[in-house]
Amino acid sequence: SQAKVMYNITEKDCYGERIEKECPKCFSVDDFEDLFDKNINCSSYLTRVKSIGGLMKVKKAYIKAYDAVEYATMPYVIPEFCQCDEINNGVASLVFGQSDYFRTNGKEISLVLDSGTTVAKWDGKKMRNIFREKMVQEIYRKCSRFFEGYS
């Protein structure tokens, strides 16, 4: 199983090999077909995300916790120096990952991601196609059994 990674990276740590090992991995948009077949985790996934100045905000996520599904909106910040804009030669990027769980410590909530979290190169036309309703329906089809009774 993949090691769990808490993305809380300081600027001095995010360079060289540590970018490869600890910063979100960059996928090209063409990798998304395989992503849905191999990496959908029906216990927790993102339906869509939005990027505003480096802040990736999860608009809708299903989190399995204590045998129940919780709905949550959670900001996820990738530091400017850690974005795939740099890794992918200036191509704007978008996080599309799986969240393993929310860790709650009093009022503090941390989004803990697995090491398979992906960042895709942004290709406007192609990415818009990916987020069309049929893709969301595909996710629901794959995960429908898990979510029965949790609507």
Neighbours of 40 (CB within 10 A): 13
For the domain made up of 23-146, the CATH class stated in words is: mainly beta
pLDDT tens profile 79-124: 332 333 333 334 333 344 433 333 334 433 333 333 333 334 344 4
Beta-sheet strands, E only, within 68-132? 68-77, 93-95, 99-105, 108-114, 118-121
pLDDT tens profile 36-75: 444 433 333 333 333 334 333 333 333 333 334 444 433 3
Cα 28 to Cα 87: distance, rounded to the nearest angstrom? 12
Residue with tokens 């608009």: 59
Q: Is 101 within 8 Å of 112 (Cβ atoms)?
A: yes
| 69 CB-near residues (< 8 Å, 6+ apart) | 62, 63, 147, 150
Residue 129's pLDDT band (boundaries 50, 70, 90)?
Answer: low
Residue range 124-134: mean pLDDT, rounded: 49
Residue 125's pLDDT band (boundaries 50, 70, 90)?
Answer: low
